[in-house]
Amino acid sequence: MPKDGGIGASPKRREDIRFLTGEGVYTDDIQLQGQCFAYFVRSTVAHGTIGTIDTAATEAMPGVLAVFTGEDFKDVGGNPAGWLINSRDGTPMREPKRPVLAHGKVRHVGDAYAAVIAETYAQAKDAAEQLAADSEIEDLPAIVDMAAAVANADNRVHDEIPDNLCFDWGWVEDNRAAVDEAIKNAPHVTTLELVNNRLVPNAMEPRASIGEYFPGTGDYKLTTTSQNPHLHRLLISAFVMGIPENKLTVVAPDVGGGFGSKIYHYGEEALVLAAAKKLKRPVRWTAERSESFLTDAHGRDHVTKIELACEEDGTFIAFRTETLANVGAYLSNFATATPTFLHGTLMAGPYKVPNVYVNLKTVFTNTAPVDAYRGAGRPEATYSLERVIDKMCRELELDPFEVRRKNFITPDMFPYTTPVGLVYDTGDYNATLDKAMEMADVDGFEDRRAESAARGKLRGMGLSTWIEACGIAPSNLVGVLGSRVGLYDAATVRVNATGNISVMTGAHSHGQGHETVFPQIVAEKLGIDPASVEIVHGDTSKIPFGMGSYGSRSLAVAGSAMNNAVDKIIAKGKKIAAHMLEASEDDITFEDGNFAVAGTDKSLSFGEVAFSAYVPHNYPLETLEPGLEETSFYDPGNFTYPAGAYLCEVEVCPETGKVDVVAFYCADDFGNVMNPLIVEGQVHGGVGQGIGQALCEQTTYDADGQLLSASYMDYAMPRADDVPFYQVDYSCNTPCTHNPLGVKGCGEAGAIGSPPAVINAVVDALNSGGFTHITHIDMPVTPSRVWTAMQAQ
């Protein structure tokens, strides 16, 4: 055991010191000798034909070094979609090419069709304005509304895709007939049409990239805001630019939040590399916030009809959904996986519903690409389910707590195969529900409601019992499901000669605190001081090939790889110790940082064994290599299945329609918890984003495809006074059965479970106030929406 700070401890975060003193190094903080600046010329129309781009005046402007247009990249590869999805009829999805810079047509406001490189940022920006003025873009009608996009065969985002459909997916297609039949014959069917509002991830650090080229060696280096530097390198090398992987280093230094938006490769990254090669100078670009709004991959944007068939007592018989999912103008890297295998597969929730069918049409529009944003598909599934269940309870006058309990999969049923293709390994949904109800003092709710009423406020309580699949994933399973990559991760544990340790991990930390929590695990296993363990991440020249951090996978996948690499270190250490102690390897034990011969007082410290590995004077060189460094690649046997119960209390002002979230309770099952402080922070952050989605965040394009919410003045981010203190519990743990740490992942939970709890609470409040005509209200529940709904009585 480490003296302190091992598994389950909450040491002070190491990374905090540099962030709190201004010593963090984010991409835009890096200044390089000879650097120059890129500025992108972006479409101001949603859809248009690119005519002549006259670069002459721009090239003559002060400081201008180079001008690039789409023509320059016409022949390089496109930025690919990472998952191949087939339509119900078996035909593969439509995959239009996503170029580095648009050529031929621009397809959304913000679509970059040219770039200017200049000595200073201001010169690049001034010159880009000139180039925009000298570019002919002929306006075409914009395709914004999804239903219209599918219906209108003449107006196409991509000329080769007649109905603007990427695919029409059925999950599971074999369930379709049985589900239709069950719904036809069910004693009760509740139907709900809802919108999962489009969001902008809004990591506080805007995307930024620096390209470098070293003519002496032909090497390239990209420093960029990435959640997964190896994935960026692979995409740039194998698909977009053809730079051999061994000639390209991708570094993601300190990254100021990602939430999905920094998983993907974007054209700006390719451009700065190409420009660096051409100019033989470092070329840098940092997004202005308005560019982030226009070009970062957005999230959600589903329009769904869900039907729930049940018995009169609330026992579920079947769920059926029809969804239109927006992918925007181009396929971002995970765009086709997010609405399908991260959404359709979760549509059974934590419930023993006999049958489920999901139909999902994915639609191209003249809007920014849409992809995974914290939760990615799972919030959409949870929201549809938890809202329709709530509506059903209201229609049948059933208790929402009891209905959940009646339908929960119970612990005796695991492993449990759902009708939508997942095998849940473990969970205890009643336990988290009990815990949430206890935390929230559900019995005292009527008193609190009366107290709110005395102040003229309508109080409501909303429940959401959520489940997700994360820790993605088994590569062979995701391969069958259409993934074009493996989803393992890797770690190298290097024991240095003096016994301290460097761990190179494929995971990337952009707020999650890996530099603190990963050493806790290594130290616990080796019985050493966590301070002697250092985490190296974010640099492809230093770390093994791993898939990075998203989908709550860092601990479950990369952490497991690290665990297994440490096991290899211990196994090798036993061999070395056996030789040194002149004992049989089978008799060597490893405990509390010591290798010992069982039943004797002969032992060696971990440091002594490490030293011997590097100074192998008394060492079994005939049978064992010197050195103490091990790598493990870990490919999980299954997804992990965190789950929980969230309860929200709101107050609604009947005069203005303003909603205040006054209390929020989370009871989660994340499996084993490595660091409670960090787990709590992850839940808080997710819930904050979920409340933002429910209350205020809304990405709005007008009918011409202009983004009306392209700044913090127009897009309402949740602020400190929009949210309460949250109560968080993670004691109802059922450890994951198939990874060595028993962990499930906690990064997305809050964003998945919270939106339906908020909306269920709002509907409850309004109904309690006599507004019984309100059965649903779409997010975000702004005062104007609530007020308008109340007036419709």
Partner 1 sequence: MSKVTITVNGREMSGEAEGRTLLVSFLREALGLTGTHVGCDTSQCGACVVHVDGKAVKSCTMLAMEAEGAEVTTVEGMADADGSLGVIQQAFQDHHGLQCGFCTPGMVMSTAALLKDNPTPSEAEIRAYLDGNICRCTGYHNIVRAVMAASGQDVSGLGVVAAE
Binding site for ligand FES (CB under 6 A): 204, 256-257, 511
Residue carrying structure tokens 């009829």: 89
Q: Least CB distance from residue 263 to ligand FES, whole Å?
A: 17
Between 495 and 728, whose beta carbon lies closer to ligand FES?
728
Q: Least CB distance from residue 257 to ligand FES, whole Å?
A: 5
d(CA 90, CA 552): 31
484 binds, among ligand FES, partner 1, none (CB under 5 to 8 A by kind): none
Residue from 5, 282, 379, 499 that binds partner 1 (CB under 8 A)?
5
d(CA 495, CA 205): 34
Task: Tell me which amino acid residue 78 is.
Answer: G
Residue from 13, 103, 278, 776 that binds partner 1 (CB under 8 A)?
13
Kindly calculate the radius of gyration of the chain based on its CA atoms and give it in whole angstroms. 27
Between 2 and 511, whose beta carbon lies closer to ligand FES?
511
Piece of 22-30, 540-548, 553-561, 623-631 that binds partner 1 (CB under 8 A): 22-30
Residue carrying structure tokens 């997916």: 169
216 by Cβ neighbours in 10 Å (0-12 / 13-18 / 19+) ranks as exposed
Residue from 95, 111, 205, 269 that binds partner 1 (CB under 8 A)?
205
Instruction: Answer yes or no whether residue 222 interacts with partner 1 by CB under 8 A.
Output: no
Q: CB of 165 within 8 A of CB of 360?
A: no
- The site map against partner 1 for 504-543 (x = CB under 8 A) is ------xxxx------------------------------
Q: CB of 38 within 8 A of CB of 285?
A: yes
Residue from 352, 684, 776, 785 that binds partner 1 (CB under 8 A)?
684
243 by Cβ neighbours in 10 Å (0-12 / 13-18 / 19+) ranks as buried
Q: Least CB distance from residue 29 to partner 1, whole Å?
A: 4
Cite the DSSP H helix spans in 503-592. Answer: 514-526, 560-580
Q: CB of 373 within 8 A of CB of 435?
A: no
Between 430 and 709, whose beta carbon lies closer to partner 1?
709
Instruction: Answer yes or no whether residue 31 interacts with partner 1 by CB under 8 A.
Output: yes
Instruction: Answer yes or no whether residue 455 interacts with partner 1 by CB under 8 A.
Output: no
Residues 739-758 that bind partner 1 (CB under 8 A): 750
Q: Least CB distance from residue 684 to ligand FES, whole Å?
A: 11
For residue 176, the number of C-alpha atoms closer than 13 Å in the C-beta half-sphere is 11
List, in order, residues 6 or more apart from 490 with CB less than 8 Å away.
505, 506, 543, 544, 545, 546, 558, 561, 631, 632, 633, 634
List, in order, residues 6 or more apart from 239 with CB less than 8 Å away.
77, 78, 79, 80
d(CA 89, CA 48): 32
Q: What is the DSSP string of 286-321?
A: E--HHHHHHHS-BB--EEEEEEEEE-TT--EEEEEE
Instruction: Answer yes or no whether residue 82 interacts with partner 1 by CB under 8 A.
Output: no
Between 201 and 506, whose beta carbon lies closer to partner 1?
201
Furthest CA-CA distance within the chain: 88
Q: Least CB distance from residue 444 to ligand FES, whole Å?
A: 34
Between 358 and 710, whose beta carbon lies closer to ligand FES?
710
Best CA proximity match to 364, nearest among 340, 341, 332: 332
Between 77 and 258, whose beta carbon lies closer to ligand FES?
258
Between 256 and 314, whose beta carbon lies closer to ligand FES?
256
d(CA 629, CA 613): 10
Instruction: Answer yes or no whether residue 153 interacts with partner 1 by CB under 8 A.
Output: no
Residues 691-750 that bind partner 1 (CB under 8 A): 691, 711-713, 717-721, 723, 725-726, 728, 750
Instruction: Answer yes or no whether residue 686 interacts with partner 1 by CB under 8 A.
Output: yes
List, in order, residues 6 or more apart from 689 with CB less than 8 Å away.
259, 374, 718, 750, 751
Instruction: Answer yes or no whether residue 8 interacts with partner 1 by CB under 8 A.
Output: no
Instruction: Answer yes or no whether residue 126 interacts with partner 1 by CB under 8 A.
Output: no
Q: Least CB distance from residue 42 to partner 1, whole Å?
A: 14
Q: Least CB distance from residue 289 to ligand FES, whole Å?
A: 7
Q: How far is CA 367 from the centre of its chain?
A: 20
18 binds, among ligand FES, partner 1, none (CB under 5 to 8 A by kind): partner 1
Q: Least CB distance from residue 202 to partner 1, whole Å?
A: 6
Task: Tell me which amino acid residue 95 is.
Answer: E
Between 266 and 726, whose beta carbon lies closer to partner 1?
726
Binding residues for partner 1, per CB under 8 A? 4-5, 9-13, 15-26, 28-29, 31, 122, 201-206, 254-257, 259, 286, 288-290, 510-513, 676-678, 680-681, 684-689, 691, 711-713, 717-721, 723, 725-726, 728, 750
